[in-house]
Amino acid sequence: MEFGVVFQADPPSKRIIDLTVAAEEAGFTHAWTFDSHVIWQEPFVIYSQMLSHTDRMTVGTMVTNPGTRDWTVTASLYATLREMFGERVVCGIGRGDSALRYIHRTPTTVATMEACVDVIRPLAAGREIEYNGAPLRIPWVEGGWELPIWIGGYGPKVLDLAGRKGDGFILQLADPHILEWTTKIVHDSAKAAGRDPSEITICAAAPAYVSDDLTHAREQCRWFGGMVGNHVADLVTRYGGDGTTVPRALTDYIEGRAGYDYDHHGKADNPTTGFVPDEIVDRFCILGTVDEHIRKLEELRDLGVDQFGLYLQHDAMDGTLAAYGAEIVPAFSR
């Protein structure tokens, strides 16, 4: 199992760069950021510095979306980073939640996301496509490289897309039961499309907090259940909450949800996440001692997870990163 670290692009950006360097030294292979350009800083500017200060780290979005940039801009951004730093970039993409809702727009459809993927991937590789009814390619891009595109989401349509066209699948949860449900759909869709499911990288991403004070760790990570609840609320609206299409393990806990404060998106002090019970925090995140982290990560690995993306948004960023580097990452490197 590999390990990635996931940041919000909060100022000062130098803090993200320093933590990326520390993560590489700790054995992490990937560094990701959210991509909500108004709530946080513009990530692609920071990526250039993250890459220039590391030697091996792969950097990318968790996740970008089809709605806030022209798709040709996204392709050019990734192609530029690749030209500057080599094949150390990856594109995580979803429908868009905070990035679009915060500017008073709605998340895109899965069909739009698929169309976006079909533009970004070939353009970033230097291939010609038809765009707006005419041929288009990026003339300075050298071929021979494919931008890895990892697709994130929870609903059946997104999972099907990940299986058909994703190089990776991002599940923003560390819940083994939901992981089994989602990856089965991804793998079944891959087989139906004539693909080898084992070629799709499975990434489970969630907050991790190393501490023997479980009460405090939960309070620092409860925000995550609130964030996931935004996506789950969309699923319930679309598919219902009777467990027929989406498992109750994912939907039942949002019954007490009453709106969401995007000004505190992804932050421990979000005032609209009180509906998230301790049980959900424990299931969705990885909390506790080093041994407890290792046990849950082993369970995820045995279910097919290739990378764990550690959301580092709490008051023990340095301590948790150090514990992973000293004891947890080495346990899986062996």
Cα-atom radius of gyration of the chain, to the nearest Å? Answer: 19
Read off the pLDDT of each residue in 183-205 and give the average, rounded to a whole number: 98
Q: Residue 44: give its domain's CATH number.
A: 3.20.20.30
Residue among 260, 253, 309 nearest 278 (CA): 253
Residue 157: band (very low, low, confident or very high) from pLDDT cuts 50, 70, 90? very high
Residue 126 lies in a domain: yes
| Domain presence at residue 186 | yes
Other CB atoms within 10 Å distance of the CB of residue 157: 17
314 within a domain of the structure (yes/no):
yes
Other CB atoms within a 10 A radius of the CB of residue 237 amount to 9
Q: What are the φ/ψ torsions at residue 187 (nearest 5 degrees)?
A: -70, -40
pLDDT of residue 92: 98
Which of the four pLDDT bands, split at 50, 70 and 90, describes residue 251? confident
Q: Which domain holds residue 174?
A: 2-209+288-333
pLDDT computed for residue 233 by the predictor: 86
CA distances from 86 to 48, 57, 140, 144, 147 (A): 12, 11, 15, 12, 11
pLDDT tens, 80-111?
A: 999 999 999 999 999 999 999 999 999 999 99
Q: Residue 9 pLDDT > 90, yes or no?
A: yes
Q: What is the pLDDT of residues 105-154, one digit of tens each?
A: 999 999 999 999 999 999 999 999 999 999 999 999 998 999 999 999 99
Binned at pLDDT 50, 70 and 90, residue 238 comes out as confident
Min mean pLDDT across 196-210, 240-254, 275-289 is at 240-254
Domain count, the chain: 1
Residue 218 lies in a domain: no
Position 164 in a domain: yes
Name the nearest CA neighbour of 86 among 95, 78, 96, 74.
78
In a domain, 278, yes or no: no
Amino acid 242: pLDDT: 83
What tokens does 25 get? Answer: 């030294």
Residue 272 lies in a domain: no
Among 283, 332, 277, 327, smallest CA distance to 307 is for: 332
Q: Averaged over 178-206, what is the pLDDT?
A: 97
Cis bond leading into 148, ω under 30°? no
Are residues 66 and 113 in contact, defined by beta-carbon separation less than 8 angstroms?
A: yes
Measured from the Cβ of residue 80, the count of other Cβ atoms closer than 10 Å reads 18
DSSP calls for 11-79: SPHHHHHHHHHHHHHTT--EEEE---TTTS--HHHHHHHHHHT-SS-EEEEEEE-SSSS-HHHHHHHHH
Q: Are 89 and 150 in contact (CB under 8 A)?
A: no
At 135, phi and psi to the nearest 5? -65, 145
- What pLDDT, on a 0 to 100 scale, did the predictor assign at position 249? 82
| pLDDT at residue 34, rounded to an integer | 96
Q: pTM for the full model?
A: 0.95
Residue 252 confidence (pLDDT): 86
Backbone angles phi, psi at 132, to 5 degrees: 55, 40
> Is residue 273 included in any domain, yes or no?
no
Among 117, 134, 114, smallest CA distance to 125 is for: 117
